[in-house]
Amino acid sequence: MIKDIEMQEPNVEMPSDVKDEYDKVFDFNTARIFLKRLVDDWRDEINETDIRRKTRDVDLDIQSLRKSGELDEDETLIPVRVIDTNIQREQPPFINYLKNSRRLATFTCLSTPNKDTQNLEIEFTQGMTYTNWENVHYKTLDGAQTHGWAAAEVVLDDTKPLNVALEYIEHDKLLFPQSILDLQQAAEIIRIYDVTILQLKKFIEAYNFDRIQVTAIVDQVKNTDKEKETVRIYKKFCKYNGVVYVAWFALDYGITDWLKAPQKHYIGIQHKETVEVIKPQQVGINPMTGEPIIENIPSQEEQWVDTDLELYPIFVLPYRETEKPFLFNHKGRVFLDENKQEANTAILSAFVNGLTRASNIYGSPEKEDGTGSSMKELQNVKLSPGRIMSNPLKLWSPNYPDPMVLNALQYFDTANSQETNQVNFAAMNRQDSRKTAREISAAQDQQQLLNSVQLTLFSTYIRSIYSFVWLIVQSQALQNKIIFLLIPKQKPQLNPLSKGPVIGADGKPVMETYFENDYDTISQTYEVRAAGDIDYIKRQEKINQMMQDWPVIQNTALRDRFLADLLRLKYPDVGDAYAVILETQGGQMQQLQSMVGRLYTILNGALQNSPEVLNGVPAQEKADLMNTMKQAQTMLPQQAQGSP
């Protein structure tokens, strides 16, 4: 392949295959054909996405259904939101995985083994846990559960502490070829944006959008309803010669070119490179004029240059990994639970409607009118107490629905809990009385194992994102564009008048402390992993083991220390405070036991050597003294106990 030809003029002569590839990336009229084809391929999935959202919400207007005749006046429809319930039930382990860790990621230094990375992990975590940082992960998780997959994009954002942020991409706003196995294999990816005209105008100055094309869009929607709503534009990622390029475009509104032409995607990653620079330098003095002679002298100089990006900065979280090859084929909870939700809703609504009708009273004449006509409603008569009817009536009502219907609902609920790995819910929801503490505990342990399986995909997603984020943070810190991992340094204090160093009484320069990024630590090569693997999963396993061992430990000298460690594990935010109180009280208790033991030994020795001392003690106080001695005796080691 010919390298670095991407910005050549179209009239530069190229091989035909290279020219075709070039046009698909950089020529708008050629690229538009393929981009429109990709957008059209996703129209069905975009519609299905909207249907799935409505299916999950089951947002019904009962009054409208009654007015339209789809429901009778005495009928109602009670949604059983199985899909939303299952999604909510599955989320806590993932949220705990993300939040119950004191760090976002663990760093292992590959270039300097055994290097302490604790401060690096703390700094990285503090910088990436900016305001509302969790929302992106919550939405991505919820989107993956609902639709089968969802994604987030890593973007450069100078409003964030480390100049990096994550953005959630809605399921129906990320388009890629539907036959790909992995997003990184895609030739091109499209992200959809719906923006207002005001936003679009700001993009001209903020992001260097083409003023002519933006004006064409504004003119097209002027004085229409679209002017008050949003217009749809697209962000295109593609790979050309193995490098990621990005461009902005629209397919409607009569535009004729890119909103922003394709260029290499810059995300803040740079590296140092030796380049040749031309600088004017004085090489002598003109003897005739006395003026300096200046010439342009080439020299070698290290500069920060943009690093070509080889990975799309978009990361996909699949709901479940199966043998299905294509990313597009992943399914979520709406696909899995839609029929169960419909069945539960139908059964419960029918049961309630049956109760409503069974509680109503209906009447009919006790004798036939003799006409032989078919049954009809005679008149709307309201039965009131204290009134006499002219003809006898037969009052009746439909039978109440069989209560076994509720057992059917419970069966569906229990089966659903088992199918969604909620084995503890299934054990608790079972109606029989044979549930035991051992069974419930076993169910909880089983659920922990099942959750760990699903957390593996979430762990891979978290690791992929923050490994990529670290490359940006590392580069930004080395360029001194962010404050990261500061360490103290010493430098001579300068005299503001002479610009020279200030000399102290000892004849040495006076030093002052300043802080700079720890470039040596930052520049190392690291392996980044999701901290939840260690801080959540392994911690939960250890907590479960310690809880099982507690009945044995609680009666030993190890009790207080064991309990303090358990509190630290179970409650990362307040566990240390609890443990300090427990250990302090434990120390005080040991001191008290030691003091009681010494007093017991002294008093017991005095009574044994001088029994007559007890003769002068009143009987009641003597009994209290002997009881106190027996209580003190129980606090002593076995070998120190004696007879009082």
Q: What is the DSSP letter of 535?
A: I
Q: Which two tokens stand for residue 623?
A: 């009994």
Measured in whole angstroms, the distance separating CA 43 from the mean position of its chain's CA atoms is 28
Confidence of residue 267 (pLDDT cuts 50, 70, 90): very high
Going from the C-alpha of 456 to that of each of 78, 172, 394, the distances in angstroms are 37, 25, 67
In whole angstroms, give the CA distance from residue 440 to residue 424.
Answer: 6
Q: Tell me: the pLDDT tens digits for 402-458?
A: 888 888 888 888 777 777 655 544 444 455 545 555 544 544 554 454 456 678 889
Going from the C-alpha of 248 to that of each of 4, 99, 188, 356, 626, the distances in angstroms are 21, 36, 13, 59, 92
Q: Is pLDDT at 324 greater than 90 in this prediction?
A: no
pLDDT at 290: 79
**Weakest mean pLDDT among 55-59, 369-373, 432-436:** 432-436
**Weakest mean pLDDT among 81-95, 330-344, 354-368:** 354-368
Confidence of residue 634 (pLDDT cuts 50, 70, 90): low
**Weakest mean pLDDT among 152-156, 334-338, 565-569:** 565-569
Q: Is pLDDT at 2 greater than 70 in this prediction?
A: no
pLDDT at 564: 83
User: What is the signed CA dihedral for 277, 280, 283, 287, rounded to 10 degrees?
Assistant: 160
Higher pLDDT, 599 or 8: 599
Confidence of residue 1 (pLDDT cuts 50, 70, 90): very low
Beta bridge partners of 303: 273
pLDDT at 502: 85
pLDDT at 612: 67
Higher pLDDT, 477 or 424: 477
Q: Tell me: the pLDDT tens digits for 569-617?
A: 777 667 677 777 776 765 555 656 666 666 767 777 666 666 666 666 6
Rg of the chain over Cα atoms, rounded to whole angstroms, equals: 39
Q: What is the DSSP string of 44-86?
A: HHHHHHHHHHHHHHT---HHHHHHTTSS-TT-------HHHHH
CB 31 within 8 A of CB 25: yes
pLDDT at 13: 67
CB 454 within 8 A of CB 90: yes
In whole angstroms, give the CA distance from residue 563 to residue 568.
Answer: 9
In whole angstroms, give the CA distance from residue 578 to residue 567.
Answer: 7
CB 163 within 8 A of CB 138: no
In whole angstroms, give the CA distance from residue 91 to residue 230.
Answer: 33
Q: Which two tokens stand for residue 408?
A: 């059917």
In whole angstroms, give the CA distance from residue 133 to residue 131.
Answer: 6
Q: Tell me: the pLDDT tens digits for 106-134?
A: 999 999 988 989 899 999 999 999 999 99
Going from the C-alpha of 137 to that of each of 165, 192, 470, 553, 614, the distances in angstroms are 12, 20, 17, 40, 76
Taking residues 79-92, report their average pLDDT: 91
Q: Tell me: the pLDDT tens digits for 216-260?
A: 999 988 877 766 788 999 999 999 999 999 999 999 888 999 999
Higher pLDDT, 624 or 326: 326
pLDDT at 176: 96
Residue 565 makes CB contacts below 8 A (sequence gap 6+) with 546, 579
CB 155 within 8 A of CB 190: no
Nearest CA-CA partner of 133 in 95, 167, 178: 167
CB 141 within 8 A of CB 91: yes
Confidence of residue 643 (pLDDT cuts 50, 70, 90): very low
| Per-residue burial over 321-334, b = 16 or more CB atoms within 10 Å of its CB, e = otherwise | eeeeeebbebebbb
- Strand, helix or coil at 270? strand
Confidence of residue 307 (pLDDT cuts 50, 70, 90): very high
In whole angstroms, give the CA distance from residue 192 to residue 524.
Answer: 37
Going from the C-alpha of 342 to that of each of 12, 77, 144, 279, the distances in angstroms are 62, 11, 22, 76
Going from the C-alpha of 556 to that of each of 213, 552, 564, 569, the distances in angstroms are 79, 8, 14, 20
pLDDT at 583: 67
DSSP 3-state helix, strand, coil percentages of the chain (rounded to 5)?
A: 50, 20, 35
pLDDT at 447: 47
**Weakest mean pLDDT among 118-132, 320-334, 488-502:** 488-502
- Strand, helix or coil at 399? coil
What percent of the chain is modeled with pLDDT above 70? 81
CB 644 within 8 A of CB 607: yes
CB 144 within 8 A of CB 150: yes
User: Per-domain residue ranges for the chain?
Assistant: 1-41+187-268, 70-131+328-362+398-497+510-553, 569-640
Q: Is pLDDT at 398 greater than 70 in this prediction?
A: yes
CB 489 within 8 A of CB 514: yes
Q: Is pLDDT at 34 greater than 70 in this prediction?
A: yes
Going from the C-alpha of 542 to that of each of 247, 547, 559, the distances in angstroms are 50, 9, 17
User: What is the signed CA dihedral for 507, 510, 516, 519, rounded to 10 degrees?
Assistant: 10
Number of other CB atoms surrounding residue 314 within 10 Å: 21
Nearest CA-CA partner of 356 in 398, 318, 419: 398
**pTM score above 0.85:** no
Q: Is pLDDT at 509 greater than 80 in this prediction?
A: yes
**Weakest mean pLDDT among 56-65, 161-170, 186-195, 405-414:** 405-414
Give the chain's mean pLDDT: 83
